[in-house]
Structure 1
Amino acid sequence: MVLSEGKPLDRAYSHHFSGLQLAPSEQARITVVAGDILRKLNLYCYLSDVKSEEMSRMGTRLLNVWHMFHELELPKMQYALQMDEREYFDRLEKAKVQPALWDGCPEWLDTMGQAQLGDAWAKERAALSTQPKRYLRVNLLKCTREDLGKKLRNEQVQTKEVEGVDTALEVTSDSALFRTESFKKGWFEQQDAGSQLVAAAVDAKPGMRVVDACAGAGGKTLSIAAQMQGKGRLLAMDVEQWKLDSLKQRARRANAHNVETRIIASSKTIKRLKLSADRVLLDVPCSGLGVLKRNPDAKWRDTPERLPVLVALQKHILQSYSRMVKVGGILIYATCSIMPEENRDQIDAFLAENDHFKLIEDENISVADSGFDGFYLAKLERISE
């Protein structure tokens, strides 16, 4: 479904699990195995001698090889295709001396990563092949981080606080988070800790006028609403109405009553807000190459030809949407990419053409160094019209 139909992995999980009565541990097991196979799909295909077009027919061999790789007992499957052990171990030794293959990295991505990050790419590539951790963002409109941790413990969900991210808890147990009362009551959202750092950089205060101009389904919007303590005006905008509809539901559950949604129907929507906002967050469409351990399917669908199109779109959004920032206001540009072409290069080009903005600071959130997903953020101040 993910590879044959191009369906995003999270939606494929939702489709597969709908109607199934699985224990949380069983569901977790399926997601762990499927996610890991996709993170290193080319490696497991190589080890099992299965071509990509043969996966639907030879999937049992691929699954057996995954178990062999992790030194686990082979699953009991009727009519399973076995792998010759001698051939497997021969292939395993050959794979160990091919770093990109070992890290589950397609050739096009390895070439791009080396070109843009140089020596730093190897550690990022390796980190992107690991299983992602589960992080929660406490909803400060309803509880404290300590209260949430205690509440979740009572619901058999084990967590620990995340150093350096005041709103984050890491989930350390295989638990069905969305079945908990804590979730139903809006005490938390599932959100990567790196993403929480991007939202924190907005530093919105109660009473401000804030625009989240590429809001999507609103994870960062809700974080900003908590910063504002529900006071002031928070405008969440996007070009897709279904995402804003989802955000409305989440905002109600979170008690984020100062969130207002608005579809971006044309450039006039942006022009009407010229020089009006204290803060504007531009979490722009990007390659997503910082979040591949969470969305590993993307690297098997994407091609290098997509990046120039995204870079052009980012440049347009940055130039156009920055008009909403008032003098003295702050623009926060962010991506979930680790590629400089989408990040600092964009900021440098923008500042070269817009001397009415100045750079306050920027930050690369490294997958390898942080353990979080990879992000970039830059804070710019408008100093004149």
Structure 2
Amino acid sequence: MLNAPLSASSTELVINVLTMVLNEGKPLDRAYSHHFSGLKLAPAEQARITAVAGDILRRLNLYCFLADIKSSEIERLGTQLLNAWHMFHGLELPKMQYALKVEQTDFDQRLMEAKQQGALFDGCPEWLDELGQTQIGDKWPAERAALATPPKRYLRTNLLKGTREELIKTLAKEGVQTKVVETVDTAVEVMSDSALFRTEAFKNGLFEQQDAGSQLVATAVDAKPGMRVVDACAGAGGKTLSIAAQMQGKGRLLAMDVEQWKLDSLKQRARRAAAHNIETRIIASSKTIKRLKLTADRVLLDVPCSGLGVLKRNPDAKWRDTPERLPVLVQLQKDILRSYSRMVKVDGILIYATCSIMPQENREQVDLFLANNPHFVFLDDENISVAESGFDGFYLARMQRTAEG
């Protein structure tokens, strides 16, 4: 975290970002883009602002409790919240004009109370704490605490353009310090506070920013050169690009999604990465899937999910989501599994994945699918724990088609 207080102008920016997210319902990344646009902020100062705003959102109920305000009052009482945040982290208070104070005695008393309430101290809303306890049981407190920590920055080496060791050396020449992630063959962790997207290494397509856990999901596809592979919920294509590298640019890789703008973004990234075997296709109707019946060696279904494994990276989601949304997502996952699995050919492999850590979205979905589809057999699965790995949380399962059906 910071080793010095925010400036008055940066404090104001943090308050504006939080207000846009919490009062207007804007995603955090769009709030950053809106408020940083047109400003000539040094990369280090921008990083400080995003670090503070992100940390406050990861433990919003805690900091509001310590400041004795409601989250809906941040636009008006934001200076009080920022003072409480600085006090919690043992920093001098920022020099803000007309700032609202937090009395030290009241702060100390509230902090003592918060430490006795695990969910509050970890910045977890009640609905999520109840869900986690029900779904994960004794393992939930460790996951909950891990989701309250800042995310690390990981890069995926683009093996189409060089090795991991070459990437580390190239980045070092540009002042970016990284280290190998031993458990993920393509991953490096960024150790310095660097503007990654301004580097020549990025412009030349040598890497993509991608969580190490996400890289493990792509690795599980185990695509080989010459295969026909479908990434059926491709989004902007982080995993698609990783699969393209596995295939060494040989074979056919079809990236599909229901939103064209995401596929357009993928096309740009693919050009930069020299991933020339990627073809994009919009899913316009169920006919798009039917035309590909029994054609693919591998089908990756990285399905829409609650995102409860990636909350430290997307902390605004837990204040925007509600428990009522989860059953809708679970039904959508069932529908996608049932429909999109038709694309897997006999002896081909279906990979089901989520960025959730909840069994309801993960193994329970797989077991239900297998019970209703005897022409598929279970191969293996993996729970990528936030607490155990230090990565974002993911789930993946691999199933093989044994017959037409």
TM-score (ref. length: structure 2) = 0.94
Give, in angstroms, the shift of residue 4 of structure 1.
1.6
- In structure 1, what is the Cα distance between the partners aligned to 2:77 and 2:174? 41
Superposed counterparts of 1:117-266, under 5 Å = 117-266=136-285
Q: 1:371 maps to which residue?
A: 390
Equivalent in the alignment of 1:294: 313
Q: For residues 125-167 of structure 1, what are the alpha-carbon distances to aligned partners after superposition, in whole Å with 9 as ceiling and x for unaligned?
A: 0000000000000101111111110011111111000011010
Kindly provide the amino acid, as one letter, of the partner of residue 143 in structure 1: G
- 1:267 maps to which of 270, 279, 286: 286
Match of 2:107 among 88, 93, 112: 88
Q: Determine the C-alpha separation between the residues in 2 that align with 1:159 and 1:73.
A: 31
User: What are the Cα deviations for residues 153-190 of structure 1, in whole angstroms up to 9, with x where unaligned?
Assistant: 11111100001101000001110000000001111000
Work out the CA distance in 1 between the residues paired with 2:266 and 2:225: 20
Q: What is the CA–CA distance in structure 1 between the aligned matches of 2:251 and 2:37, rounded to whole Å?
A: 39
* 1:338 Cα offset (Å): 0.1
Quick check: 2:22–2:71 contact (8 Å CA) kept in 1?
A: no
Give a deviation string over 1:56-108, Cα, whole Å, max 9, x none.
Answer: 10001100110000001111111111101111101000000000000000000
Other-structure match for 1:75: 94
Q: Deviations over 1:206-249 (max 9, x none)?
A: 00000000000000000000000000000000000000000000
Structure 2 unaligned regions, length at least 5: 1-19
Q: In the alignment, is residue 41 of structure 1 matched against residue 68 of structure 2?
A: no
SS at match of 1:61: helix
Question: Greater shift after overlay, 134-143 or 1-10?
Answer: 1-10
* SS of the residue 1:363 aligns to: strand
Shift of 1:15: 2.0
2: distance between equivalents of 1:182 and 1:119? 43
Residue of structure 1 equivalent to 2:322: 303
The alignment covers a number of residue pairs equal to: 385
CA RMSD of superposed structures (Å) = 0.6
2:351 to 320, 332, 344: 332
SS at match of 1:37: helix
Gaps of 5+ in 1: none
Sequence identity (%): 80
Q: CA deviation at 1:3?
A: 1.3
**1:351-366 → structure 2 map (5 Å cutoff):** 351-366=370-385
Distance (Å, rounded) in 2 between the aligned partners of 1:200 and 1:239: 24
Give the distance between the partners of 2:23 and 2:381, measured in 1 at CA.
Answer: 39
Q: Distance in 1 between matches of 2:170 and 2:50?
A: 25
What is the alpha-carbon distance in structure 1 between the residues aligned to residue 30 and residue 246 of structure 2?
30
Distance in 1, Cα, partners of 2:127 & 2:382: 26
Amino acid at match of 2:250: K
Note if 1:115 corresponds to 2:134. yes
CA shift for structure 1 position 321: 0.1
Note if contact 2:21-2:28 (Cα within 8 Å) is conserved in structure 1.
Answer: yes
Q: For 2:202, give the aligned amino acid.
A: F
The answer to whether the Cα contact below 8 Å between 2:232 and 2:300 also exists between their aligned partners in 1 is yes
Contact 2:22 2:72 in 1 (8 A): no
Letter matched to residue 371 of structure 1: G
